Amino acid sequence: MAKPNKKLPEKAVDIYCAKCRAPLFRYRKGGKGALVKCFVERIVADYTEVACQCPGCGIPFARETLIRGVPAYKIIGGKVTHK
């Protein structure tokens, strides 16, 4: 399997908790589809204290995993929003 591109995408999005609207990440997202996974190397700013857990309400919003041999967070459906 191919690894994600080393060149970061131009567009950066802010990712928020869907429940309490607390900021979670500033992420370099490629494409215009839904946010399914976040590669750790593309996270520009991380506002969480505990990995994959919202700092505001404490609910888990993702799971740590390896995708194509690269560390990533697999987003749980409906737990985050982005703009």
Query: Which of the pair, 83 or 55, is modelled with greater confidence?
Result: 55
- pTM confidence score: 0.88
User: Could you tell me if residue 7 is inside a domain?
Assistant: no
Domain containing 20: what range?
12-82
User: Could you tell me if residue 59 is inside a domain?
Assistant: yes
Domain count, the chain: 1
pLDDT digits (tens, 9 = 90+) for 45-80: 999 999 999 999 999 999 999 999 999 999 999 999
User: Could you tell me if residue 45 is inside a domain?
Assistant: yes
Q: What is the mean pLDDT of the chain?
A: 93
User: Could you tell me if residue 29 is inside a domain?
Assistant: yes
Q: What angle do CA 9, 11, 13 make, to 5 degrees?
A: 120
Cα atoms in the 13 Å half-sphere on the side-chain side of 11: 9
User: Could you tell me if residue 64 is inside a domain?
Assistant: yes
User: Could you tell me if residue 4 is inside a domain?
Assistant: no
User: Could you tell me if residue 61 is inside a domain?
Assistant: yes
